[in-house]
Amino acid sequence: MKKKKTSDKKENNFYFKNIFSILVELLKFSVYNFEQIITSLRKPITTRLRHLDAIIIIKKSTKLLDLLNIKSCFLRSIIIYKMLKMYKHEPKLHIGVKKVDSLESHAWIEIDNTSIDTSKGYEILTTIK
Q: How many domains does the chain have?
A: 1
Please give the pLDDT value at position 33. 94
Please give the pLDDT value at position 36. 94
The span from the CA of 99 to the CA of 122, in Å, is 9
The span from the CA of 114 to the CA of 121, in Å, is 16
Residues 6+ apart with CB under 8 A from 112: 54
Q: Predicted confidence band at 9 (pLDDT cuts at 50, 70, 90)? A: low
For 42-98, write each residue's pLDDT tens digit: 998 888 778 889 999 999 999 999 999 999 999 999 999 999 999 999 999 999 999
Residues 6+ apart with CB under 8 A from 54: 84, 87, 89, 91, 111, 112
Q: What share of the chain in percent tops pLDDT 70?
A: 91
Weakest mean pLDDT among 3-7, 71-75, 104-108:
3-7
Identify the domain containing residue 39 by its residue range. 2-128
The span from the CA of 4 to the CA of 85, in Å, is 28
Alpha helices in 32-45 (DSSP H): 34-42
For 2-63, strand residue ranges (E) read none
